[in-house]
Amino acid sequence: MIILAFESSCDETSVAVAEIDGEKYKILSNIVASQISMHTLYGGVVPEIASRAHTEAISRLTYEALSDAFVTPEDIDIVAVTSNPGLIGALLVGVGYAKAWAYAHKKPIVAVNHIKGHTAAAYYSHEGLKAPFFALVASGGHTSLIDVKSPTEYVTVGHTRDDAAGEAFDKVARLLGIGYPGGAAMDALAYEGDEKAIKLPSPALADSIDFSFSGLKTAVINYVNNERQRGNEISNADIAASFSSAVVKAIISTLEKAHGMYRYETLVIAGGVAANSHIRRTAAEFAEGKGIRLCIPDRSLCGDNAAMIAAQGYHEYIAGNLADSSLNAYACQVT
């Protein structure tokens, strides 16, 4: 089955074509147009700018995705589009365009939840991966622990109570002036610092499998402000290393606690933050120690992209979850 998929929930416009049948997942094209340079000036995503940029890009990217995949509109079996959660104006561009494309070419359309899409990216690089599995999705907007009972039935069993993990990486990176979004820069810089240099609070909560990243972020801000006021030199590398270590330890201890509760045999870690090399390495050690099958998408598929939406769209279609022309976009999670 050949799927044309659209992703426009935040600051990446992406169109992909994938061929998926049974347990075979193949990306034929996956074009991602990042808007990062348009938002850098503001240090965060400006929703109105994001919507306009999606509108300008989506038609051209669709032609490119079809031509890179060597398919024509007639070859497409279904259309998949991210409908929630995300920035409402940004989502509406993708949903409106996908509905129009599906109507014009008389193709069925399915709506995809962005978070389910992130986990579905793991199907491409882990042959035979099948629900049930346990998932951690950590991105710029979400940090959720999910009991995935079937390819389409996701039960969130833990989440962040404030900032998302990626948001915390980005805010600390911004404070240190090392770029936006700062996750990848923090990842690299952490190798040059001492993770024991600064004592920071853990974002893992003792009484649950929820997280709280805001206290950790505030502790870093207070540390930097105090040291600057005292005229002391601060080491960005030590901050990056100490911060990364606190995040990694909290994620692993929470996954361990969740393993005690859910006894999962397969673990998927997905979302932009799953590109983090320290998390990937430590999670691999943790999984090996427990005999868990660990499935993390290729780094290139951790950030927002439409191939992941195609993979989840396939499962929604197989489950009979078809949408129609009344399909709407929702800023909050609805499916």
- Residue 273 binds: one of ligand KG4, Zn ion, none (C-beta under 5 to 8 A by kind): ligand KG4
316's tokens: 């929604």
Q: Is 139 in the site for Zn ion (CB under 5 A)?
A: yes
Does 12 engage in binding with Zn ion (CB under 5 A)? no
6 closest CA partner among 274, 299, 295, 329: 329
Cα distance between residue 246 and residue 201, in whole Å = 7
- Contact residue for Zn ion among 7, 195, 210, 304 (CB under 5 A): 304
Rounded-to-integer distance, Cα 20 and Cα 91, Å: 24
Query: Which listed option, Zn ion, ligand KG4, none, makes contact with residue 275 (CB within 5 to 8 Å by class)?
Result: ligand KG4
Nearer to ligand KG4, 139 or 152 (CB): 139
Interaction of residue 14 with Zn ion, rule CB under 5 A: no
66 or 302, CB closer to ligand KG4?
Answer: 302
Cα separation of 268 and 225, whole Å? Answer: 37
6, 31 in Cβ contact below 8 A?
no
Looking at the Cβ atoms of 96 and 181, the one nearer to ligand KG4 is 181
**Segment near Zn ion (CB under 5 A); pick from 26-34, 138-146, 156-164, 227-235:** 138-146
- Check binding of 143 to Zn ion (CB under 5 A): no
Binding site for ligand KG4 (CB under 6 A): 10, 139-141, 166, 169-170, 181-184, 187, 271-273, 275-276, 303-304
For residue 12, the minimal CB distance to ligand KG4 (Å) is 7
Q: Cβ closer to Zn ion: 96 or 166?
A: 166
Percent helix, strand and coil across the chain, each rounded to 5? 45, 20, 30
Task: Say if CB 250 and CB 205 are below 8 A apart.
Answer: no
Sheet holding 293-295, edge to edge: 154-159, 143-148, 133-138, 266-270, 293-295
All residues at 6 or more sequence positions from 260 whose CB lies less than 8 Å from its CB, including other chains: none
Cα–Cα distances (Å) from 69 to 73, 104, 124, 157, 316, in that order, read: 11, 20, 16, 38, 22
- Residue 137 or residue 323: which is nearer to ligand KG4 going by CB? 137
Q: How far is the CB of 304 from Zn ion (least distance, A)?
A: 4
**Between 170 and 304, whose beta carbon lies closer to Zn ion?**
304
Instruction: Note the residues at the interface with Zn ion (CB under 5 A).
Output: 139, 304
